[in-house]
Structure 1
Amino acid sequence: MKPVVSAMNAWTCIVVSVFAIVILSVIGAMFKTNHHAMMGSTEDPKDGTAVAGAVFGAVVVYGIFLVFCASQAWLHMRASRQGDIRLS
């Protein structure tokens, strides 16, 4: 198989996805437990578990991005070991 995206884009996507998964998981956990930092103001949402569900949905999307980008990076590494890289 040939990679769809460039190696630089694949590695950038991996870094961004890992960062987003970690940060969004923490934010989602804080909403799920109704942490006062997320739920303490009068303008904050009333149902923290519903917000946590949406945030964890975003974590799943970033997880899918991570799997795709990791497979692209793996294809680039495999191609570079076989000498298939061409400058054109």
Structure 2
Amino acid sequence: MKPVVSAMQAWSCTVISAFAIIILSVLGLLFKNEHHELVGGEDDPEDGPAVAATVFIAVLIYAGFLVFCGLQGLLHLRESRRGAIAL
């Protein structure tokens, strides 16, 4: 199987997705617990758990990116070990 994206794009996407999962998970937990800094103001959303559900959907999407890009990176590693010429 051949990689679809370049090695640099694959590893960059993997790192960005990992950080996005961490950051969005923390934000989702804060919204789920209705932290006063996020839902206590006048212009803030009133339904914290509904916002948390949306944020957790974004976490699942980034997890999909993490898996896809990580596999692409591993395909590049496997291809480079077999002596393929990178142009």
TM-score of Structure 1 vs Structure 2, range by shorter chain? over 0.9
Which position in structure 2 is the counterpart of 1:20? 20
Q: 1:16 offset after TM fit, Å?
A: 0.5
Distance 1:32 1:66 in 2: 24
Query: Aligned residues, how many?
Result: 87
Q: Which runs of 5+ in 1 are unaligned?
A: none
Q: Which runs of 5+ in 2 are unaligned?
A: none
How high is the TM-score relative to the length of structure 1?
0.96
How high is the TM-score relative to the length of structure 2?
0.97
1:73 matches 2:73: yes
1:10 matches 2:39: no
Question: What one-letter code is carried by the residue in structure 1 that aligns with 2:24?
Answer: L
Alpha-carbon RMSD: 0.6
Q: Deviations over 1:36-57 (max 9, x none)?
A: 1111101111100000000000
Percent of aligned pairs with the same amino acid: 60
Distance 1:49 1:85 in 2: 51
Which position in structure 2 is the counterpart of 1:84? 84
